[in-house]
């Protein structure tokens, strides 16, 4: 799909003759959108080389902490940005909100119009939805409840509704947001807590319920520059480009929310 690069004249400076590499560590849930964003960036800066590393925000933070190549960090929550900032691995003044998301319960199956517009409006309807899954003795996939942002938001929601220990036997752990999606896409489980952006962009997943935002912390992604020995022009170009309107529009088109 073609995207018009309107309003990006500021980025149309001539690229450096010498190729520069920028390492981007990004939350797994951003992968589909960043693939498009990377292509657009390469049209503007054909001499720059982008290396994208996708994983859970917690795994990426630890990689960066111990010296893995990274110039830009995109985290699915503020916790891991702050973690690296406290360890002086992030340029503090570069931390900025990037985009927002929503938490959903989804299931294996083809989309229908009603599924895409369904929402749990309050604690009672959300609890009822989850308990109906429990009564059917259906397994539900959750990202790592202790470390992964998706899992943390999920745990906060579960704690607001039920005693998680009562439902432990139904929970199937996964490494990150994209692996949780893969579980139900491949039919290894019927239900999962997912990000809205992942659920609506899968042809194999149907939304059951959009979780009210007051059950969990705001699902906000953050952008920051990693402290590196060598600072190149391309790193700043990428950082600026990721804050452009064209990038925001791509993310919103893929189910994210403006911060």
Q: Going from the first residue of the chain to its last (259 residues), give the mean pLDDT of each consecutive group of 10, the final group possibly shorter.
A: 48 55 97 97 95 97 97 97 97 97 91 53 79 84 95 94 81 94 93 96 92 94 94 92 98 96
Between the alpha carbon of residue 173 and those of residues 67, 139, 142, 188, 204, the distances in Å are 28, 10, 5, 12, 20
Q: What is the pLDDT of residues 197-242, one digit of tens each?
A: 999 999 999 999 999 999 999 999 999 999 998 778 999 999 999 9
Contact 255, 200 (CB under 8 A): yes
Quick count: other Cβ atoms within 10 Å of Cβ 121? 10
Give every CB contact of residue 138 below 8 A, 6+ residues apart in sequence: 170, 189, 190, 191
Give the distance, in angstroms, between the CA of residue 157 and the centroid of all CA atoms in the same chain.
Answer: 18
Taken in order of first residue, the domains within the chain and their CATH numbers are 9-100+220-253 (3.40.190.10), 103-215 (3.40.190.10)
pTM of the entire predicted model? 0.87
Q: What is the pLDDT of residue 183?
A: 95
Q: Could you give the count of Cα atoms lying within 13 Å of 173 in the half-sphere of its Cβ?
A: 9
* Token code pair at residue 160: 């607001």
């Amino acid at each position: 799909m073609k995207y018009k690069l309107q309003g990006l004249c500021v980025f149309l400076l001539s690229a450096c003759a010498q190729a520069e590499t920028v390492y981007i560590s990004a939350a797994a849930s951003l992968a589909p959108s960043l693939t498009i964003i990377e292509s657009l960036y390469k049209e503007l800066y054909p001499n720059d080389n982008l290396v994208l590393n996708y994983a859970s925000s917690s795994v990426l933070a630890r990689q960066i902490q111990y010296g893995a190549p990274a110039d830009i960090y995109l985290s699915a929550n503020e916790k891991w940005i702050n973690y690296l900032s406290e360890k002086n691995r992030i340029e503090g003044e570069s931390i900025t909100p990037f985009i927002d998301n929503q938490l959903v319960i989804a299931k294996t199956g083809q989309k229908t119009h009603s599924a895409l517009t369904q929402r749990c409006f309050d604690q009672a309807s959300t609890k009822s939805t989850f308990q109906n899954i429990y009564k059917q003795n259906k397994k539900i996939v959750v990202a790592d409840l202790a470390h992964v942002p998706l899992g943390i938001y999920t745990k906060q929601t579960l704690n607001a509704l039920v005693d998680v220990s009562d439902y432990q036997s139904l929970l199937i752990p996964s490494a990150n947001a994209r692996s949780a999606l893969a579980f139900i896409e491949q039919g290894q489980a019927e239900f999962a807590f997912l990000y809205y952006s992942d659920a609506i962009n899968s042809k194999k997943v149907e939304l059951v319920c959009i979780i009210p935002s007051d059950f969990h912390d705001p699902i906000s992604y953050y952008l920051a520059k990693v402290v590196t020995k060598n600072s190149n022009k391309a790193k700043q170009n990428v950082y600026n480009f990721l804050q452009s309107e064209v990038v925001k529009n791509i993310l919103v088109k893929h189910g994210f929310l403006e911060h």
